[in-house]
Amino acid sequence: MRLAAGNSSLRCDYCKTVVIPKPADSGVVFLDELATGPACPVCSVPLWNATLDRIKLRACNRCGSMLVPMGAFGDLVEQLRSKATETEIASPPDPAELHEKVSCPVCHRAMDVHFYAGGGEAVIATCENCELNWIEPGALKLIVEAPRDDHSEAGYW
């Protein structure tokens, strides 16, 4: 089975059968495990090719963390916000999260761990070198469900 081009499905090269995997509770559709390549910096297991709302990303099938290209992150947040039905005020994050050490799954350099500037009081990690965001479970939900403010409209991704 191979990823079908531009799609959230798998296609058999032999019989041409198309399989559409069911999304996880988080909405992430896990497509195929990467035999080689980046591993989850939290679990040390191979990441999976995955999609969330048709945005291609890599995700950990064990802990649910996601590796999202910076260029796609803003679109992902906006798409998910357009479907969100409620907003909630998040509890402040634990400042200790800012001291976590996260290595980029691609280049293995230390990622910059910081507050997401677009609302939601979430902590994310970024690798400017690889242009990737590391989003741990729950952080994306906080970002999407955050009340909108002037900063979130300004494109601080």
Task: Report the SS3 class of residue 144.
Answer: helix
Model pTM score: 0.74
* 142: amino acid identity, one letter: L
Statement: residue 65 has pLDDT above 60: yes
* 120: amino acid identity, one letter: G
The pLDDT score that the predictor gives to residue 156 is: 44
Average pLDDT over every residue of 109-119: 88
* Per-residue pLDDT band at 118 (split at 50, 70, 90): confident
The radius of gyration of the chain's CA atoms, rounded to the nearest angstrom, is 16
More confident residue, 76 or 155: 76
Instruction: Annotate 50-89 with b (16+ C-beta within 10 A) or e (fewer).
Output: bbbbebbbbbbbeebbbbbbeebbeebbeebbeeeeeeee
Average pLDDT over every residue of 104-133: 91
